[in-house]
Structure 1
């Protein structure tokens, strides 16, 4: 068997995504501990996930970490995985259409990343999404990811803080990244059939390959490391806000928008389901409760 010259970089990226997952889950459980409540603090339920090939062969897996019914989080998932195999025809065709070279001739792939979605108890604290990932095929490699804030009741100062932290992370690597990736997020997280964005944006990027793997990986790490400083202060600021029945109704209707987007448009959801990954892990982004007007 030919040795994979990219194996050390795959291993390095996979280890880092697991480290990021550990850091975030610990921080979220600390938020649960810090918020005073008679209810017990929430804790993550961790379930290993596996991917099997058509003949039952091992094709990687990861950890699905989900907390439900906490003091702060109504439902939050932080998943990490490293998987490989052969792309299904639809996924291969989609990547060929995006300009990924060599997929049609050799549809093998390797992918690793961390994906997070948090739905909050208090409607004044915003839902949030973040992911970072690395993808490899015999003909190409790239990084992708981003983070976006999804308040049902927007506070401009929260939006400004979230964006400022992401901008600082981008600016440290390329002064053009923030504007480019903010615009990409505004386009990507738009719900065409509703004619509106699903939240207040953030950054989004995909197919990042400048030719310098180390630089692109460093930027992806910066995006992951910016998440907690961007999100935690906003969350702590709103935890004790009083909640009316009207606030809860607004929250549930906004969650309906989130569910529509993830089921109809989200690229990660489509890829996960089409490549045979654990369906519960792929769909952990869906809110525990939602309502439609």
Structure 2
């Protein structure tokens, strides 16, 4: 067994005292170093990676904002891949890739779905033909986030308590939907007349949009309909626009928007009962007001 001599013991104690007296010397050197990936003050950091070691294609300010919001609200989006043809891809946590900017442009890439600005409450501008912010969706992004088939989506559903009953929602959305419920409960205490508007008429439903080949947002478990008999769908009414697009209770719309859900009443092809989780649109809409990306609460973290 090693036993220190008295001289060695004194030396060890002296070294230990020096360490205690000057603990900041070594860390001070490292603290001055800037990590290679740190964003500069005037350039929002985006984790861009070029394919084949090529150049990064230039980004517009709007594209930078889009990508910052997508990274902020969807933990499953890990970084952005730049292709040699100028296209940009969202690289997901499972390695799959979703087109953000296609070359040539595509009507349903993620950039196109974020092009029309969504007006958060209290804004309710006119909705002439062609104005439907958020109604165009990227099927590739929805599949990557929520599931590629009915069985896949069903395996990820959760039963979430609501004010009146329960709603089946995708597990990535349950945290945000529970936040909506709490906000609506508080709104009801202030205004009990809201209650007839708050009957759930369904969350998850594997189906296509009426009259269209595209899957509904309900098929991914990210949408809910409220009080369908009071809040109509555009195919059920001849009114263009519908008066409820202006008079529907703002407290309900605001409760959903504050948690990342958009309202179908702000579309030309209105769906006044309909709310769906699209936090990237609200992040983008509010970025100008906050001076930067300060996103609405994201869904559950990318783990379960």
TM-score (norm 1): 0.29
Kindly name which structure, 1 or 2, has the bigger radius of gyration based on alpha carbons. 2
Q: Which protein is richer in strand relative to its size?
A: 1
TM-score, normalised relative to structure 2? 0.28
Which has the larger helix fraction? 1
